[in-house]
Amino acid sequence: MKTKLILICIYLTSNVVFGQWVDLGVPGSRVHMIENNIGYRVKHTSGPSPGSGTTYEIISTQNDWHSGTILSTGGYGYGCCHIGDMSFINSSTGLRDHNDQGVHSFQRTTDNGVTWYSFAYGTIASTIDLLMVNDSVGYVSGTYYTPYRSLLYKLTPSGSTQLFEWDSLLFNWSDLEFIDQDTGYIIMHDTAQVNYLLKTIDSGINWNTVFTGSVNELTSVCFPSGSIGYLSSTNGKVYKTNDGGVNWSDISPSTQEDINSIDFINDTVGYVVCNAGELYRTIDGGSTWDEEASGSSANLFRLKMVDINTAYCSDANGTLLKNNNVLSVGPNWNDQSLLVIYPNPFIGPVTIYYEVETEGNVELTIHDGQGRLVRTLINGMKPSGIHSIEWDGTGMTRTSVPQGAYYLTLTTSSGVGVKKLIKTN
């Protein structure tokens, strides 16, 4: 019996580009995206009279928000039951700030927001930022008045610990970034509006200044790993550190607009969002930046990358924007460049076919959905032509990777191509 082998080639075209941003709507709501198409939003509805109070809704989504359900409501007196902020570490586990007439409590959910359990209390007049680090530790920054001062709490199921209460340094509006429950960063400013990035390595007990800026306001900080971090500011500035904040270099994109938020999914792939609807992407750690069209002319905020190909942000009108393209190709990628995976989805080994147009260095890597490097398959010189390589489905420790989505990235002198793989049982 003869067996016929049929090879199906899929060619990537240059008009398929990373950065097709779309308007998902949801105006006027605070939105928190966790994974591609999975997130939460919180809404507040004031009653017609003091007696009816305020009702809040926490709504989950699967892609389009129309499938969302009201997960929690409340309201029994004027001004009660305000949800200030939320933070989720995955689709089921999250933390929220609940303000009942000035008394703040922090509650945790482990069942997708259906039920909430007491976490801790804190004496805060206004919550600035809330961050859940793992399923048992969170941090919250806030302010208190008369006199005006800043506070930082560490939250655990057993209670809250006030880490500091300062009147010399005040919080900006995007402040908390923790790599783990011990190592974290906060942005603050003094009364002369000098900005500081502070670092702790002991769960917030002690803080040291690792960056000072007296000209531009620091707006957002992101550390995708323990040593590599990014910091944004007004007037279009981005700074990078490779040593945990000891030294910083200017890697700014070509914009004069204020950068309001920055996020990286791994050490090299990230976005910044700016005023006037501008946003930029880098795939080489900030050495180069590509501007993408957001479709909005409003100021952009609250950037979140959920995987290596997907990002969300909100504009000043509350509209949620998404990079809606799951297949990304660099702007210089040739019309006939080849990147094929077979089989896909896969259980065991897969064969990868790729094309090198011009002899030069080729890098072929695999990342997971959180942007973490799983395996480097190729990093070296290759001649022009079509090549193939087999991936056995294991990571750097040569153990099989779990089921889920993975991303194959091919970098050549012609550009960058990314293809999605699905691992099944």
In this structure, the answer to whether residues 164 and 243 fall within a common structural domain is: yes
In this structure, the answer to whether residues 64 and 171 fall within a common structural domain is: yes
Domain span at residue 392 reads 330-423
- Provide the CA 313 distance to its chain's centre, in angstroms: 9
What pLDDT score does 55 carry? 55
In this structure, the answer to whether residues 125 and 34 fall within a common structural domain is: yes
In this structure, the answer to whether residues 137 and 271 fall within a common structural domain is: yes
In this structure, the answer to whether residues 172 and 61 fall within a common structural domain is: yes
In this structure, the answer to whether residues 67 and 141 fall within a common structural domain is: yes
For residue 317, being part of any structural domain is answered with yes
For residue 184, being part of any structural domain is answered with yes
In this structure, the answer to whether residues 388 and 277 fall within a common structural domain is: no
Give the residues of the chain that fall short of pLDDT 70: 1-20, 27-29, 44-81, 100-102, 120-125, 324-338
In this structure, the answer to whether residues 317 and 361 fall within a common structural domain is: no
Give the count of domains, the chain: 2
CA gap 394, 194 in Å, rounded: 49
What pLDDT score does 215 carry? 79
